[in-house]
Structure 1
């Protein structure tokens, strides 16, 4: 009897411990179910229970940020400042757009004027010559040559006029009767023609020699001089010349083009005095000066 009672006494504490464990597990299961519905693990009791059971507590959601009135005022001020800057930027863009349109219009106008100027220069034959000094010199020489041809043609017309005048005078001397007024008109025209011929003869420049020529043309910007002697007097391309005024040598030249009665030369050396039309021109016969 005592042995049976002792065995029962040993079993009762073990059963009590087992029952307490079962009750604790049941409480945890029910607590987990409630926690899924309501996340209130932040309660100190729940945290204590989680610690006791070895379960980590679930962190709570972050609280909402609070903004002070001063910060709100500052944000509104920044917003207004950004709006003002945006308005200024839009006005600047409009101004620049208008300026760009005006600049494009002016550029188009200048382009048309430049194209028109190029067309005129091309029509005058200056478009290509303005880029090359040698071409400019050649054009000048050509112009001088054309002038010489015009002078030659003028001389021929003058001779024909003189012959016509002489023939008319002979005719008037041999003619008998006729209209006296018509005779007077013819004589007046002949006198006028003779006066014109005499003036033309005086205006024609005299041809010089290699040692006694003169400057008849000058283009300072091209350093170009035209002399009144040419191939007929023995001038050759590359021949050295000098310009003198009295006994003073004003400049030294080099012939670059030769025509029948004139020549063109480039200035190689010049002093303080500038060359003038009418200065004496002669060949530089110094032994140390080459022809080329």
Structure 2
């Protein structure tokens, strides 16, 4: 009997050990699943953060471009007003000149039609000639004013065209050929660089620049955002050789289009 009890105890211990082993296996499996879930959650969180940052960067860039367009329009508006005023002045003076020329011709015709001799005709001629001289003086003054106003129109047109071209060049990414700058910082995680050239130096959104170190080309970057004294540019990954990396201190140059 004791022998059977002893055997039964051994069997119970074996069964308990088996259950424990199985539970341990389940625990390890559950722990592994938990780690996998944590990893997936961390990855999803990182992707969400990346998307949020990208969205914010896009919104910031859009706001920056809107501000620049509004600034350009604000600079252009006074020039438009000046042009409109000058054109109105030219139009008014042209009408005045035409009116005086017409009146002068009329008086000359009147003088020519007066009969010769006698006190009355002589007085009429003298009065008409005096009026003609007065009108000719006014006509000369109007012509001078019209010439000045016309020059103002030409100047305002040239100024307006220069502002429009500057904005068009900026928007199109057209910069001065040969413009150079330096890489201030490089973010390998996001593949962008900070450059020491900005709006004051003529940097423009959309311009693509060559990155070099010494006499060797390292790659290319494309400007995505411009501040007064600095710019942000994305690295054109396909232009960077395998194993190479852009570094602070590298030179950037705009080759032109």
TM-score bracket relative to the smaller structure = 0.3 to 0.5
TM-score of the superposition, structure 1-length normalised?
Answer: 0.34
| Larger RCO (CA under 8 A, 6+ residues apart) | 2
TM-score of the superposition, structure 2-length normalised?
Answer: 0.37
Task: Select the structure that is richer in helix.
Answer: 2
State the structure with more CA Rg.
1
